[in-house]
Amino acid sequence: MLELRNITQRYDTLLIFDEVMSGFRYAPGGVQQLSSIMPDITTLSKVLCGGLPGGAIAGSQMIMSCFEAGNNTKVLHTGTFNGNPLSASAGLTTLAIVADGTIQETLNKNTVMFVNTVNEKAKQVGIDVQLFHQSSIFHILIGAQKEGVDISPSEDAFWITQKNAAIYNELKVLLTQHGIDMHKSHGWLSTCHTYDILEDAVDKFHMAFVKLLNQNRAMGLAD
């Protein structure tokens, strides 16, 4: 990120952070707070309005002045939910709740516990499936041990989800059958996920792993 900031400053171009998913979830100030790098423009959505429709573009005064009336280079900004009072009210409440970082810290701890426990279940089953997390977002890697892929964010981690797409789809179906509806390769924890819910989810992952291994032993999914 620092290299990108240096390059954009060198060539007098804008650095834009897409914090639609990371904003407020990683930290109250998003990834830019954690990296100590201030972008010129930030895009926000998802949690911004507490689940109601809404999004925002944020930036320096110089950048945002292009939206001001009377500016010769004014940029029109229209949208169905612009100024929607319900979304705005929910947004203000949400921002107040997440402002001190307490929720983010709690969710991060819960995600660490969840990921570690699910990984232990996978180890008990003997299946080549491992989870890693970024803040309260967890990611699933299937077949990483066989391919020698590190359990962390990387191009290889993305590649393996493409290579083993069929098995990922199988796991998604099995989890859905046990009551867990999520993306095939990642999921998010929220304040709604209490300890009891997470404990139940771990058991369901365990059952799904057993079935997945039985269905794919011929493909070398055993660890």
DSSP structure string for 89-149: HHHHHHHHHHTTSHHHHHHHHHHHHHHHHHHHHHHHHTBSEEEEEETTEEEEEESHHHHT-
- Whether pLDDT at 5 is above 60: yes
pLDDT tier for residue 121 given thresholds of 50, 70 and 90: very high
Q: Quote the mean pLDDT of the chain.
A: 91
CA distances from 222 to 82, 87, 156, 167, 216 (A): 52, 48, 20, 13, 8
- Cross-strand bridge partners of residue 133: 138
Q: What is the pLDDT of residue 175?
A: 97
In this prediction the pTM is 0.86
pLDDT tier for residue 67 given thresholds of 50, 70 and 90: confident
Orientation angle between helical segments 155-163 and 165-177, nearest 10 degrees: 80
- Whether pLDDT at 74 is above 80: no
pLDDT tier for residue 75 given thresholds of 50, 70 and 90: confident
Cα–Cα distance measured from residue 220 to residue 54, given in angstroms and rounded to the nearest whole number: 45
Sheet order of strands, 137-142 included: 129-134, 137-142, 186-188
Terminus-to-terminus CA distance in the chain, angstroms? 35
**Contact by Cβ (8 Å): 100, 28:** yes
Q: What is the pLDDT of residue 71?
A: 64
The total of other beta-carbon atoms located within 10 Å of residue 189's CB is 23
Q: Looking at residues 100-123, what average pLDDT do you find?
A: 97
Q: Looking at residues 60-85, what average pLDDT do you find?
A: 80
Query: Would you state the structure tokens that stand for residue 210, as one six-digit string?
Result: 């057993």
Question: 11, exposed or middle or buried, with CB in 10 Å at 0-12, 13-18, 19+?
Answer: exposed
| Residue whose structure tokens are 């809404």 | 54
- Whether pLDDT at 223 is above 70: no
Q: Looking at residues 72-101, what average pLDDT do you find?
A: 87
pLDDT tier for residue 66 given thresholds of 50, 70 and 90: confident
- Whether pLDDT at 218 is above 60: no
pLDDT in tens, 174-206: 999 999 999 999 999 999 999 999 999 999 999
Query: Would you state the structure tokens that stand for residue 121, as one six-digit string?
Result: 């279940």
